[in-house]
Amino acid sequence: MKTIKGPAIFLAQFAGDEAPFNSFDAICKWVAGMGYKGVQVPSWDGRLFDLAKAAESQDYCDEIAGVAASHGLQITELSTHLQGQLVAVHPAYDAQFDGFAAPHVRGNPKARQEWAVEQVKMAGTASKRLGLTAHASFSGALAWPYLYPWPQRPAGLVEDAFDELARRWTPILDHFDECGVDIAYEIHPGEDLHDGVTFEMFLERVNNHPRANILYDPSHFVLQCLDYLDYIDIYHERIKCFHVKDAEFNPTGRQGVYGGYQGWVERAGRFRSLGDGQVDFSSIFSKMAQYDFPGWAVLEWECALKHPEAGAAEGAPFIAQHIIRVTERAFDDFADSGSDRDLNRRLMGLD
């Protein structure tokens, strides 16, 4: 059995232009001071990380890993959530997602997609240089605007959308296979891969590609009213990354899953800091231990109410308290009477 590694923290929500959030060295010192042991790095944020240089230079990767190590930290994964989103963008979202891309490809969906594919591939190469085995990303979406079938969806629309999604991702998955790194798609509303069924639809179309895997984040399942514990039972072999994030869902007679176009504070379903929501983390960490999850427990802080620095400070001890140091022997080994096949046969009445 394996003990989950952690606590770790995703840096995306904390990076900023003010110290200590504006350089990799400073932000590592900050999170280490709160008790974190690992950092998940947003590859798009040039204040913290140079993706192109990491893909080209082993010296740079050794340097950036050394900075983390100087604060007692490991790099857990790189993230291409923003670039992965741009691998597949429905035209309805072109203007909104253009800001995720480099300025020279904005306003040009074809060039933007090609840039995104190259970005994700560079992250695979960089992950290999850093000695990482998993990578966090989004799938993007072509079918999401047609989630609710009214008006009735034309026959084959969803199937065609998933065929195209798989066509775009297969060469990327092949590159990650060459690098020895798994892509863990965060299963997330807004992405075409947003639950178990949609992940299976994609997996079938990429021929059960060994590098097509899951970033498990229970908060997104609370808001969908999906059984997030059963999800682990079903998909544990594909879960390669773990975001520890809390959420709550409090439906009323006026509002339910869709949120009534309200802001996060007023929504029936909203994200919360660890311990403030409804997620049963004791059961989740038990299942992760049961299935030998090999990775890191990574805080992703998103809360409609609490200050981010308070959420970060509370997150490290919360995760540490939930990580189960797995046992090396059965609790009843003291009563072991040894192995005797002749005795076994007599006990079964076979002799």
Share of the chain above pLDDT 70, in %: 97
The burial of 350, by beta-carbon neighbours within 10 Å (0-12 exposed, 13-18 middle, 19 or more buried), is given as: exposed
Categorise residue 338: left if φ over 0, alpha if ψ from -120 to 50, beta otherwise: left
Among the listed residues 82, 90, 94, the one whose alpha carbon sits nearest the alpha carbon of residue 41: 82
pLDDT in tens, 180-205: 999 999 999 999 999 999 999 999 99
- Residue pair 130/148 in contact (Cβ under 8 Å)? The answer is no
- Answer for the pair 300, 243: CB distance below 8 angstroms, yes or no: yes
Give mean pLDDT, residues 294-306: 96
pLDDT band at 268 (very low <50, low <70, confident <90, very high): very high
Q: Please report the pLDDT score of residue 331 as a whole number.
A: 62
Q: What single-letter amino acid sits at 271?
A: F
Is residue 76 pLDDT above 70, yes or no? yes
pLDDT at 351: 72
pLDDT tens-digit map of 212-230: 999 999 999 999 999 999 9
Label residue 334 by pLDDT band (50, 70, 90).
Answer: low
| 9 in Cβ contact with 298 (< 8 Å) | yes
CA–CA distance, 103 with 160 (Å, rounded to integer): 30
- What would the pLDDT profile of 2-38 be if each residue is shown by its tens digit? 899 999 999 999 999 999 999 999 999 999 999 999 9
Q: What is the pLDDT of residue 203?
A: 98
pLDDT interval class at 344 (50, 70, 90): confident
Cα dihedral value 155, 157, 163, 167, nearest 10: 150
Confidence of residue 340 (pLDDT cuts 50, 70, 90): confident
Residues whose CB falls within 8 Å of the CB of residue 269, separated by 6 or more in sequence, listed in order: 222, 223, 247, 248, 249, 250, 257, 259
Identify the band that residue 335 occupies on the pLDDT scale cut at 50, 70 and 90: low
Q: Which residues of 156-165 are buried (b: 16+ CB within 10 A; e: fewer)?
A: eebeebbeeb
Phi, psi of 92 (to 5 degrees): -60, -20
Domain covering 5-347 in this structure, CATH number: 3.20.20.150
Q: Is the peptide bond before 218 cis (omega within 30 degrees of 0)?
A: no
Query: Taking all residues of the chain, what is their mean pLDDT, rounded to a whole number?
Result: 96
State the Cα–Cα distance between residues 60 and 160, nearest whole angstrom.
41
Residue 337 has pLDDT above 90, yes or no: no
> Domain extents for the chain?
5-347
Answer yes or no: is pLDDT of 102 > 70. yes
Q: What percent of the chain stands above pLDDT 90? A: 93
79, pLDDT greater than 90: yes
Residue 96: CB atoms within 10 Å: 9
Please determine, for residue 339, whether its predicted confidence score (pLDDT) is greater than 80. no
